[in-house]
Amino acid sequence: MTIDNKFLYLAIILSPLVSSIIVGFFGWLIGKKVSHSLAILGVLISTIGSYIVLYRVQFEGLYFNGILYNWLTVGSQSFSVGLLVDKLSSVMLAVVTSVSLMVHIYTIGYMAEEEGYQRFFSYISLFTFMMLMLVLSNNFVQLFFGWEGVGLVSYLLIGFYIKRESAIFANLKAFLINRIGDFGFLLGIGLILAYTGSLDYGVVFSHMSNFTHAIMPGTSWNLITVICLLLFMGAMGKSAQFPLHVWLPDSMEGPTPISALIHAATMVTAGIFMVARLSPIYNMSHTALAVIIYAGGINCLFLGVLGIVQNDIKRVVAYSTLSQLGYMAVALGCGAYSVAIFHLMTHAFFKGLLFLAAGSVIIAMHHEQDMRKMGGLGKYMPITYITMLIGSLALAGIPPFAGFFSKDMILESAELVHKLGLPGGGFAVFTVYTSVIVTAIYSFRLIFMTFHGEERFRHVDNHHGQDDHGHHAVEPEESPWVVTLPLILMAIPSALVGWFAASDFVSNKILSGSVANAGWFVTNMQEEIVPLKMVLEGFTHIPVYLALAGILIAWLFHKNPKWSDKLIKAIKPLYVILMRNYYMDDLYINLFAPIGRAFGRFLWTLGDMFLIDGLIVNGSAKIVDWYSKILRKLQSGYVNTYATFMILGIIILLTFCTRLIFA
């Protein structure tokens, strides 16, 4: 039984890696069809395996925590590559592999005519492997390996169009911003190792309670709070929390399938997963949890607002991802880790769906992404329209779609924290409630602008001159089945998964043993969740009406296009700030980066060239040079000069000698 399972785990992890390697190295040889079949086969094996594991973990009590091989030994400490198969990782496995499989299939259609088709499949399979390593890790080193590994693939995929300047700028930016987060993450890992003497989750959790009141040497900071915040820095990078969020909107430079897989459903939620995984540590620091609430709240509301002013269809969805990651972070900060994972799961489905649907629209529009040049597409591409509508309803939190359940639980958690008077509670309540309306506005603005109203794509592009029989002369049409099938398959869980999973997540039955919700959450959330009751009660509570109000606002603005112009004029300065992402990009690009370069140049010219080389190295050579020049003058060859110096020398010598002798 155990051997059987271990084989299963290895198959889950390694099959995407194997197919990635084969496709990556021999893709040119085996052709497109074999390549994508292999890649899909690899992920399919993973997916099936994951569901078997999910079943066994949830219903047969399967649990595995063991090592694969010994990675490194230092002194008496050894670090292994190991696996932790428990409730949390089994849920994550299912989410990751399902979305990955859908994206693999979808890619056949989306990338059909692109250069580097095989390379793309190799990358996304490699990504799946890295993500699985991250999720299944039983220790911090391997977590960091997967963490940076997914970052690498994200870097490669954002810059997939290697000739496009904006793409290769965006991927460098993404990698570096993530590295700022990882800087903190690694230091956090270092502190954990220094104090607990291990990096194994189990050992660390059991030792950590010895340090509840420990402080950082030389400071008055609580050790655990410092560790939690350093680790959260990593999460801020990966899960794009303010102010390390600036890379995510730019990551939309990558092809749309990876925006769905990496920058919505899986990789960006790694930070959320990590905090949930380490919930036993985070529960020990209220300060850290409060910080997470604030970070999440800012993301949730203030970055969500930016989604309203975007015109690029992918960017709207990207800002909505930032906002939803904020919701998850707020849930974490409220100590409702299982609720965060619940929202992570529903979000993976509906946000993955939204991106894939946006991609379908982009295909139909021949790679036009500006919503101002779309409109009225609903009747041409009904499947895309309906699935995207389902995704948007889920995102906006309309019952009984999946997002309603998870978001409602987050709202309740925030209220609970506020009621208990815990730090950050007020801010949490304010931001999560306000962003319900914001979410509905941008989601439905997108729906109305893209699928309803005037068919604006008909009267654009004429100024392109020679491109007369250009792209938009052809009627837009529904995408091929390889694109629509994943849409439909993703729409089903987007609609239903909340209904079936809500109760298990809130009572934490589905994650018990691996995620420990905060004490206050456990004691106050004991009533059983009945989905039907929750839906009906939903209509008696404010949030649903906030969401409906948001939809109404979006509709009114859609029907009266002049309103938005007037509004923009009225709030011009604010609008500019919003369009510029609160000047956060400028902060990095026009302030930090130039300062870094100037500092480097300063050190190089002043330190290396002037001080060390100029003064000391070449300086000492010059001194030798001068000295020899003076000496050369003495070597004149005239006897009288020599004689003069000889006599002078004798006199000096004698003076000193006599002094020494007679003193």
Partner 1 sequence: MTLNLLNLLSLTIWVPIIAGIVVLFAGKNDNLARFISILGAIAGFILSLIVYLQFDANFSGVQFEENYPWIQSLNIYYHLGVDGISMPFLLLNNFITVTVIIAGLKVIKSKVALYNSMFLLMTGFMSAVFCALDAMVFYVFFEAMLIPMYLIIGIWGSSNRVYAALKFFLYTLLGSLLMLVVLIYLYYVSSDTFEIFAFYKTPLTMLAQVLIFIAFFFAFAVKVPMWPVHTWLPDAHPEAPTGGSMVLAAITLKIGGYGILRFMLPIVPDAARALSGVMITLSLIAIVYIGFVSIVQKDMKRLVAYSSISHMGFVTLGSFLFVGQYLNTWALQGAIVQMISHGFVSAAMFMCIGVMYDRVHSRNIADYGGVATKMPIFAAFFMLFSMANSGLPGTSGFVGEFMVIMGSVQTKFIYAFFAATILIIGAAYTLWMYKRVVFGEVNNKHVASMSDVNFAEFIVLFLLAFAVIAMGVYPEMFVAKMQTGVKDLVMEVANTKLLIK
Site of interaction with partner 1 (CB under 8 A): 69-75, 141, 144-145, 148-149, 152, 156, 159, 162-163, 165, 168-169, 172, 175-176, 179-180, 182-183, 186-187, 189-191, 193-194, 216-217, 596-597, 599-601, 603-604, 607-608, 611-613, 616-617
Helix axes 337-364, 270-277, angle to 10 degrees: 170
Which token pair is 625? 């040079």
Shortest separation between residue 146's beta carbon and partner 1, angstroms: 8
- Report the residue number, 595 or 651, with the smaller CB distance to partner 1: 595
Shortest separation between residue 243's beta carbon and partner 1, angstroms: 15
Residues 6+ apart with CB under 8 A from 172: 155, 159
- Report the residue number, 576 or 616, with the smaller CB distance to partner 1: 616
CB 333 within 8 A of CB 287: no
Shortest separation between residue 589's beta carbon and partner 1, angstroms: 13
- Going from the C-alpha of 485 to that of each of 101, 350, 615, the distances in angstroms are 12, 15, 71
Counting every residue written for the chain, the total comes to: 663
- Report the residue number, 180 or 208, with the smaller CB distance to partner 1: 180
Name the burial class of residue 561, with classes exposed (0-12), middle (13-18) and buried (19+) by CB atoms within 10 angstroms of its CB. exposed
- Report the residue number, 82 or 543, with the smaller CB distance to partner 1: 82
Find residue 215's DSSP bridge partners.
222
Which token pair is 448? 């109305």
Which token pair is 268? 């960006």
Shortest separation between residue 90's beta carbon and partner 1, angstroms: 24
- Report the residue number, 175 or 499, with the smaller CB distance to partner 1: 175
- Report the residue number, 372 or 601, with the smaller CB distance to partner 1: 601
- Report the residue number, 579 or 616, with the smaller CB distance to partner 1: 616
- Report the residue number, 144 or 401, with the smaller CB distance to partner 1: 144
Shortest separation between residue 83's beta carbon and partner 1, angstroms: 16
Shortest separation between residue 472's beta carbon and partner 1, angstroms: 27
Closest by CA position to 20, among listed 144, 145, 153, 143: 153
Shortest separation between residue 281's beta carbon and partner 1, angstroms: 16
- Report how far residue 419's alpha carbon sits from residue 520's, in angstroms, rounded to the nearest whole number: 11
CB 317 within 8 A of CB 354: yes
Shortest separation between residue 252's beta carbon and partner 1, angstroms: 18
Q: Which long-range contacts (CB under 8 A, 24 or more apart) does 457-462 make?
A: 457/365, 457/368, 457/373, 457/374, 457/375, 460/373, 461/373
- Report how far residue 86's alpha carbon sits from residue 633's, in angstroms, rounded to the nearest whole number: 87
